[in-house]
Amino acid sequence: MKIGVFGGTFNPPHIGHLNIAEGFQREFNLSKLMVIPTFVPPHKISPDLASAEDRIKMCELTFSSEYYEISDVESQRQGRSYTVDTLTELSKTYEDAEFYFLVGDDMLLSLHTWKDPERILELCKIVSTIRSDSYTVEDLEEYAKEYFPEAYEKGRFKFIYVPPIELSSTEIRERVKAGESIDDMVTEPVKDFIFARGLYCD
Protein backbone atom coordinates (compact mmCIF):
# COMPACT_ATOMS: atom_id res chain seq x y z
CA MET A 1 0.00 0.00 0.00
CA LYS A 2 1.36 3.42 -0.97
CA ILE A 3 0.48 6.22 1.42
CA GLY A 4 1.13 9.86 0.64
CA VAL A 5 1.78 12.33 3.44
CA PHE A 6 1.29 16.05 2.99
CA GLY A 7 2.10 18.29 5.95
CA GLY A 8 1.71 22.03 6.22
CA THR A 9 0.33 24.85 8.29
CA PHE A 10 -2.66 25.10 5.94
CA ASN A 11 -3.51 28.57 7.22
CA PRO A 12 -5.62 28.40 5.09
CA PRO A 13 -5.36 25.49 2.63
CA HIS A 14 -5.61 26.82 -0.93
CA ILE A 15 -5.87 25.60 -4.49
CA GLY A 16 -2.07 25.61 -4.86
CA HIS A 17 -2.06 22.88 -2.20
CA LEU A 18 -4.91 21.03 -3.86
CA ASN A 19 -3.17 21.27 -7.23
CA ILE A 20 0.01 19.57 -6.01
CA ALA A 21 -1.91 17.01 -3.94
CA GLU A 22 -3.88 16.01 -7.05
CA GLY A 23 -0.74 15.83 -9.18
CA PHE A 24 0.93 13.72 -6.47
CA GLN A 25 -2.00 11.31 -6.32
CA ARG A 26 -2.06 10.97 -10.14
CA GLU A 27 1.66 10.33 -10.41
CA PHE A 28 1.99 7.74 -7.65
CA ASN A 29 -1.45 6.18 -7.62
CA LEU A 30 -1.59 6.38 -3.83
CA SER A 31 -4.00 4.29 -1.77
CA LYS A 32 -4.51 7.32 0.38
CA LEU A 33 -3.10 10.76 0.97
CA MET A 34 -2.87 11.91 4.56
CA VAL A 35 -3.09 15.66 4.99
CA ILE A 36 -1.48 16.68 8.27
CA PRO A 37 -1.88 20.22 9.59
CA THR A 38 1.03 21.03 11.90
CA PHE A 39 0.75 21.90 15.55
CA VAL A 40 0.90 25.56 16.44
CA PRO A 41 1.52 26.54 20.06
CA PRO A 42 -1.61 28.01 21.67
CA HIS A 43 0.17 31.27 22.51
CA LYS A 44 0.84 31.80 18.81
CA ILE A 45 -2.83 31.61 17.84
CA SER A 46 -3.59 35.09 16.55
CA PRO A 47 -5.87 36.78 14.03
CA ASP A 48 -3.31 35.64 11.50
CA LEU A 49 -3.19 32.06 12.61
CA ALA A 50 -6.36 30.02 12.76
CA SER A 51 -6.79 27.40 15.48
CA ALA A 52 -6.01 23.75 14.79
CA GLU A 53 -9.74 22.96 14.70
CA ASP A 54 -10.40 25.62 12.08
CA ARG A 55 -7.44 24.55 9.97
CA ILE A 56 -8.52 20.91 10.12
CA LYS A 57 -12.05 21.89 9.13
CA MET A 58 -10.74 23.93 6.19
CA CYS A 59 -8.59 20.98 5.10
CA GLU A 60 -11.71 18.81 5.11
CA LEU A 61 -13.43 21.44 2.96
CA THR A 62 -10.50 21.46 0.53
CA PHE A 63 -9.34 17.86 0.31
CA SER A 64 -12.73 16.26 -0.06
CA SER A 65 -12.17 13.23 -2.35
CA GLU A 66 -12.39 9.85 -0.69
CA TYR A 67 -8.67 9.12 -0.89
CA TYR A 68 -7.77 12.05 1.35
CA GLU A 69 -7.59 11.59 5.09
CA ILE A 70 -7.20 14.64 7.29
CA SER A 71 -5.11 13.73 10.31
CA ASP A 72 -4.91 15.50 13.65
CA VAL A 73 -1.83 13.50 14.70
CA GLU A 74 0.36 16.64 14.80
CA SER A 75 -2.12 19.34 15.66
CA GLN A 76 -3.36 17.46 18.73
CA ARG A 77 0.08 16.54 20.01
CA GLN A 78 1.20 18.67 22.91
CA GLY A 79 4.33 20.41 21.77
CA ARG A 80 6.12 20.77 18.49
CA SER A 81 5.91 17.91 16.05
CA TYR A 82 8.78 16.71 14.01
CA THR A 83 8.29 14.97 10.70
CA VAL A 84 10.54 12.14 11.81
CA ASP A 85 8.29 11.44 14.83
CA THR A 86 5.12 11.61 12.76
CA LEU A 87 6.51 9.20 10.16
CA THR A 88 7.71 6.84 12.89
CA GLU A 89 4.21 6.83 14.37
CA LEU A 90 2.56 6.31 10.99
CA SER A 91 4.89 3.46 10.09
CA LYS A 92 3.83 1.65 13.29
CA THR A 93 0.16 2.13 12.45
CA TYR A 94 0.57 1.06 8.82
CA GLU A 95 3.26 -1.60 9.03
CA ASP A 96 3.35 -2.68 5.39
CA ALA A 97 2.93 0.73 3.83
CA GLU A 98 5.39 2.54 1.65
CA PHE A 99 5.36 6.27 2.51
CA TYR A 100 5.74 9.18 0.13
CA PHE A 101 6.16 12.58 1.70
CA LEU A 102 5.15 15.55 -0.41
CA VAL A 103 6.96 18.89 -0.16
CA GLY A 104 7.13 22.09 -2.18
CA ASP A 105 10.55 23.13 -3.52
CA ASP A 106 11.13 25.66 -0.71
CA MET A 107 10.57 22.97 1.92
CA LEU A 108 12.84 20.47 0.18
CA LEU A 109 15.71 22.93 0.16
CA SER A 110 15.56 23.16 3.96
CA LEU A 111 15.58 19.39 4.53
CA HIS A 112 19.12 19.41 5.97
CA THR A 113 17.86 21.64 8.84
CA TRP A 114 15.03 19.26 9.86
CA LYS A 115 15.38 16.88 12.79
CA ASP A 116 17.05 13.63 11.67
CA PRO A 117 16.70 13.98 7.89
CA GLU A 118 18.64 10.73 7.21
CA ARG A 119 16.09 8.80 9.28
CA ILE A 120 13.25 10.58 7.47
CA LEU A 121 14.72 9.35 4.19
CA GLU A 122 14.71 5.79 5.51
CA LEU A 123 11.08 6.07 6.56
CA CYS A 124 9.77 7.61 3.35
CA LYS A 125 10.56 8.76 -0.13
CA ILE A 126 10.50 12.51 -0.45
CA VAL A 127 8.54 13.83 -3.39
CA SER A 128 9.25 17.41 -4.32
CA THR A 129 7.29 19.61 -6.65
CA ILE A 130 8.20 22.87 -8.26
CA ARG A 131 6.27 25.71 -6.70
CA SER A 132 7.15 28.61 -8.98
CA ASP A 133 9.67 29.65 -11.60
CA SER A 134 12.30 30.16 -8.89
CA TYR A 135 13.73 26.64 -9.12
CA THR A 136 14.12 23.92 -11.72
CA VAL A 137 14.07 20.16 -11.14
CA GLU A 138 17.84 20.25 -11.81
CA ASP A 139 18.33 22.67 -8.88
CA LEU A 140 16.47 20.30 -6.58
CA GLU A 141 18.42 17.28 -7.81
CA GLU A 142 21.68 19.15 -7.23
CA TYR A 143 20.62 19.91 -3.67
CA ALA A 144 19.65 16.30 -2.94
CA LYS A 145 22.88 14.98 -4.45
CA GLU A 146 25.00 17.41 -2.47
CA TYR A 147 23.39 16.99 0.95
CA PHE A 148 22.12 13.40 0.84
CA PRO A 149 24.23 11.53 -1.75
CA GLU A 150 23.45 8.05 -0.43
CA ALA A 151 19.71 8.51 -0.23
CA TYR A 152 19.79 10.15 -3.64
CA GLU A 153 21.59 7.15 -5.13
CA LYS A 154 19.05 4.84 -3.53
CA GLY A 155 16.23 6.68 -5.26
CA ARG A 156 14.75 8.14 -2.07
CA PHE A 157 14.07 11.45 -3.82
CA LYS A 158 11.39 11.85 -6.43
CA PHE A 159 10.60 14.98 -8.36
CA ILE A 160 7.32 15.72 -10.01
CA TYR A 161 6.38 18.54 -12.22
CA VAL A 162 2.84 19.74 -11.68
CA PRO A 163 2.12 22.96 -13.56
CA PRO A 164 2.44 25.34 -10.61
CA ILE A 165 -0.27 27.60 -9.31
CA GLU A 166 1.67 30.43 -7.73
CA LEU A 167 -0.21 31.17 -4.57
CA SER A 168 0.47 31.21 -0.85
CA SER A 169 -1.58 31.26 2.33
CA THR A 170 0.12 34.55 3.18
CA GLU A 171 -1.31 36.14 0.05
CA ILE A 172 -4.79 34.91 0.93
CA ARG A 173 -4.60 36.24 4.49
CA GLU A 174 -3.42 39.60 3.18
CA ARG A 175 -6.23 39.77 0.67
CA VAL A 176 -8.85 38.96 3.32
CA LYS A 177 -7.43 41.66 5.56
CA ALA A 178 -7.51 44.17 2.70
CA GLY A 179 -11.10 43.24 1.82
CA GLU A 180 -10.05 41.83 -1.56
CA SER A 181 -11.57 38.84 -3.30
CA ILE A 182 -10.16 35.36 -2.69
CA ASP A 183 -12.41 33.73 -5.29
CA ASP A 184 -10.68 30.86 -7.10
CA MET A 185 -7.81 30.88 -4.59
CA VAL A 186 -9.51 28.63 -2.04
CA THR A 187 -12.43 26.28 -2.53
CA GLU A 188 -15.89 27.85 -2.26
CA PRO A 189 -16.67 26.16 1.10
CA VAL A 190 -13.35 27.38 2.55
CA LYS A 191 -14.13 30.90 1.41
CA ASP A 192 -17.53 30.73 3.13
CA PHE A 193 -15.92 29.29 6.26
CA ILE A 194 -13.30 32.08 6.44
CA PHE A 195 -15.97 34.76 6.23
CA ALA A 196 -18.43 33.02 8.54
CA ARG A 197 -15.74 32.61 11.22
CA GLY A 198 -14.26 36.06 10.59
CA LEU A 199 -10.78 34.62 10.11
CA TYR A 200 -7.75 36.72 9.13
CA CYS A 201 -9.51 40.08 9.27
CA ASP A 202 -8.16 41.36 12.63
| Interface residues toward ligand ATP, by CB under 6 A | 8-11, 16-17, 20, 103-104, 106-107, 129, 131, 164-170
Euclidean distance between CA atoms 145 and 160, whole angstroms: 17
Least distance in angstroms from the C-beta of 10 to ligand ATP: 5
Nearer to ligand ATP, 37 or 90 (CB): 37
Helix (H) or strand (E) holding 5: strand 2-8
Cβ-proximal residue to ligand ATP, closest one: 104
The nearest distance, CB 128 to ligand ATP, in angstroms, is 9
**105-117 b/e (C-beta count within 10 Å ≥ 16 → b):** bebbbebeeeeeb
* Smallest separation, CB 27 to ligand ATP (Å): 14
156 phi and psi, to 5 degrees?
A: -85, -5
Name which of 104 and 117 has its Cβ closer to ligand ATP: 104
Residue 112 per-residue DSSP state: G
Nearer to ligand ATP, 106 or 192 (CB): 106
Give the strand order in the sheet containing 124-129: 68-70, 32-37, 2-8, 98-104, 124-129, 157-160
CB closer to ligand ATP, 26 vs 153: 26
Minimal distance, residue 96 CB to ligand ATP, in Å = 26
